[in-house]
């Protein structure tokens, strides 16, 4: 059984993920721990704490946290 496309999965879950505390963004990317494997990257204010309510896997894709604070328009 194949996974749905990463873009479709992110589109379906973006609103719910962005509504979680300290979550600033969500995107698809390459897993930082498993090169060559795609995953869902969730940008958070503090990557040392997993956001409550955020699954560690969504529709077969691993979820990885990326710390770095808020996004600001340039």
**Residue 32: φ, ψ to 5°:** -70, -20
Q: How far is CA 20 from CA 4, 30, 59, 63, in A?
A: 23, 22, 18, 14
Global confidence as pTM:
0.88
What is the bridge-based pairing of β-strands 61-67 and 38-44?
A: parallel
Whole-number pLDDT of residue 52: 96
Whole-number pLDDT of residue 72: 67
Whole-number pLDDT of residue 35: 83
Residue with tokens 């973006």: 14
Q: What 8-state DSSP symbol labels residue 20?
A: S
Whole-number pLDDT of residue 73: 64
Q: Contact 61/4 with Cβ under 8 angstroms? A: no
Whole-number pLDDT of residue 24: 94
pLDDT along the chain (74 residues), means of 10: 92 98 94 88 94 96 89 67
């Amino acid at each position: 059984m194949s996974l749905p496309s990463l873009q479709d999965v992110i589109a379906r879950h973006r609103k719910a993920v962005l509504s979680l505390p300290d979550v600033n963004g969500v995107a698809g990317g390459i897993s930082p721990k498993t090169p060559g494997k795609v995953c869902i990257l969730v940008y958070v204010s503090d990557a040392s704490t997993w956001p409550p309510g955020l699954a560690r896997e969504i529709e077969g894709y691993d979820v990885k946290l990326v710390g770095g604070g808020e996004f600001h328009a340039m």
